[in-house]
Amino acid sequence: MRLLWRGRSANEPDHELIWLAVSASSIAGGAVWLAFALPWPRCAFLAVTGLPCVTCGATRCTIAFLRGDFLSALSWNPLAFVAFCALIAFDLYAAIVVVGRTPRLRIVDWTIAQKNAGRIVVISLLALNWIYLLTHHDRF
Ligand SMILES: [Zn+2]
């Protein structure tokens, strides 16, 4: 696995622009949703089992995060909190490279073992987050 900075070729999709647009429009959509006080999404897993799913608390995490109450956001769903921090970092990076027309960061030459290690890390983080939510399920 290697990290490299390279220019975007003419026929390559502008991933940074696409995902920055998706992120910005999602945040705007969420702000409109909250502004109109539309009903919050209900978790079908929680309704059926009485236990939180791995994403339960993400909405409350988002609201607390956007209000700057980071400790509360972290407590609602730690993995969602980390994802929001990563999203902000990506959005800043994407805005800089899109506006500045600068080289893009790419991760290349992944081996099978590295891909599998990445999968194990992601699954482990999801499992740890779910264990946390299950041990705090009285909040939901
Ligand atoms: Zn849920």
Note down the domain range covering 103.
13-139
13-57 tens-digit pLDDT: 999 999 999 999 998 998 898 889 999 889 999 999 999 999 999
Residue 139: predicted pLDDT: 84
Per the domain annotation, does 6 fall within a domain? Answer: no
Per the domain annotation, does 44 fall within a domain? Answer: yes
Per the domain annotation, does 117 fall within a domain? Answer: yes
Expressed in angstroms and rounded, the spacing between residue 42 Cα and the centre of ligand 1 is 8
For 50, 58, 77, 91, 134, the CA distances from 38, given in Å and listed in that order, are 24, 16, 22, 26, 27
Give the chain's domain count: 1
Expressed in angstroms and rounded, the spacing between residue 130 Cα and the centre of ligand 1 is 10
Per the domain annotation, does 78 fall within a domain? Answer: yes
Q: Which residues neighbour ligand 1 (ion) by CB within 5 Å?
A: 43, 46, 53, 56
Per the domain annotation, does 58 fall within a domain? Answer: yes
Please give the Cα distance from 16 to 94 (Å, whole number).
5
Per the domain annotation, does 26 fall within a domain? Answer: yes
Per the domain annotation, does 95 fall within a domain? Answer: yes
Per the domain annotation, does 67 fall within a domain? Answer: yes
55-92 tens-digit pLDDT: 999 999 999 998 999 999 999 999 999 999 999 999 99
pLDDT band at 111 (very low <50, low <70, confident <90, very high): very high
Task: Establish how many alpha carbons lie within 13 A of residue 93's alpha carbon, considering only the half-sphere containing its beta carbon.
Answer: 14
